[in-house]
Structure 1
């Protein structure tokens, strides 16, 4: 059993949850993720380890209410326990002192970007971070990103916070004014596709984290297979990070839609199961 030590909502549907998991906290690196199962009847879901505290023996995950399990997790309280938490899993981010690193995150993708920003800064890089959301109420980890970034640029679709525009607009402004040695992009697949196209124009080596497509997290289900440079890769065991300029994002977008109907049905069934409790 893994106890929830702290929980807070960063926005209406996004919660930061601190879990007691000393062995994982001791071993995790930027880019690693966990698989958790709330109870014996629950499904397994992958979540990036957003932070860890070795002294306290805790890890931090950030979950967005999307499916049944993420709703259940976000609705749990301090003191509640999670049955299974397995990790750290996945290949850690390659961290090196390369010069100037441009880190771009969209939506809840800002959460897995945070430990990479931290690690890149600790490695001695100049870190410029661009985070984006539809509106200011959906911007997360602003203060944390600012602490570890040499510069933080915030983009919102409606201009309610920072600058108005998409994440790629903020990236382009940075790229056009100074030399960028490496870029990291994490967010919705369509956002990563266009972010990768933006950096490709300038021949900037770019890494994309494809964690959003993972299901089982161990390579057994095959749902997270993607084409990278014409070769089939499994995100959970070979990634989750790949050369963004080699990823077939159109194929990935198509695969992400494969489970939409079943996810919607599962969520509706979950809501129906709550009706007796709510009424």
Structure 2
């Protein structure tokens, strides 16, 4: 069993949990994910690792309550335990395959959309530990949905919060902020890493193609089973079939067929909505902690 050590709300319908999982924490790397099964009747939930602490033996996850299982997970409190906590899974961030000297010579900016801020944080933190300060754009629809800003400021170079409604930081889309930084403020970037909603990553890639900036995206939004067996996260990258959970989740954003990936994601969202509408409280997932 994997005990919840800490739980706190970050924004409406978004919460953070520190899970006691020493072996996972010892092996975890930025960019990887875990699969959680709450109880013997629960479904497998893939979640990107948001942080890890080898000394405490904990792994941090950030969850948004958008589906039946995540709504059930929200009922768990400190001291409760999950049945399974499997990981780390997936490939580590591509940053870790480069030499530190190469990274120090690059100007890197992360674009984090909504919940995507959580998996961005461990990569920015790891870079900071190597002596590399990356910039970060954090996007949200309103001020109350901006998450992990202070944590990000402690490890990043510049942090640029953006809100759709202008209630905090830059008013407008993250793509507009990136364009402003490059075209109006004279910033030069060698690499963009975008993690967030599929539609956001698609338009970030369209912009960076125009700007001539290499771009990496994380395709974790389309993962379901997390092992490559269900085929739900199948996507086309540079004309080849890949699986986000075993080949990724990170890929060259300029080679991803976003239209195909978004159609696949919509199909599973429709099924989840139907499931939620027909299920009573408890979600039919066992419910015992």
- Cα distance in 2 for residues equivalent to 1:157 and 1:53: 34
Distance 2:189 2:169 in 1: 22
Q: How does 1:96-135 map to 2 (within 5 A)?
A: 96=98, 97=103, 98-135=105-142
Residue of structure 2 in register with 1:216 after alignment = 225
| Residue matched to 2:173 | 166
Residue from 251, 256, 267 that aligns with 1:242: 251
Instruction: Give the secondary structure class of the aligned counterpart of 1:126.
Output: coil
> Equivalents in 2 of 1:242, 1:140: separation in Å?
25
Query: Which residue number corresponds to residue 73 of structure 2?
Result: 73
The equivalent of 1:16 in structure 2 is: 16
Q: Is the 8 Å Cα contact of residues 33 and 88 (structure 2) preserved in structure 1?
A: yes
Contact 1:2 1:20 in 2 (8 A): yes
State the shift of 1:122 in Å.
2.4
Aligned counterpart, 1:258: 267
SS at match of 2:124: helix
Equivalent in the alignment of 1:93: 93
State the match for 2:158 in structure 1.
151
Aligned partners of 1:251 and 1:127: how far apart in 2? 31
Matched residues in 2 for 1:25 and 1:15: separation? 20
Bigger relative contact order (CA 8 A; separation at least 6): 2
Normalising by structure 1, we get a TM-score of 0.95
Give the CA deviation at 1:23. 0.3
* Kept after mapping to 1: 8 A contact 2:72/2:282: no
Q: String of CA shifts for 1:213-260, please: whole Å, max 9, x gaps.
A: 000000000000011111110000000000000011111111111122
State how many pairs are aligned: 275
TM-score, normalised with respect to structure 2 = 0.92
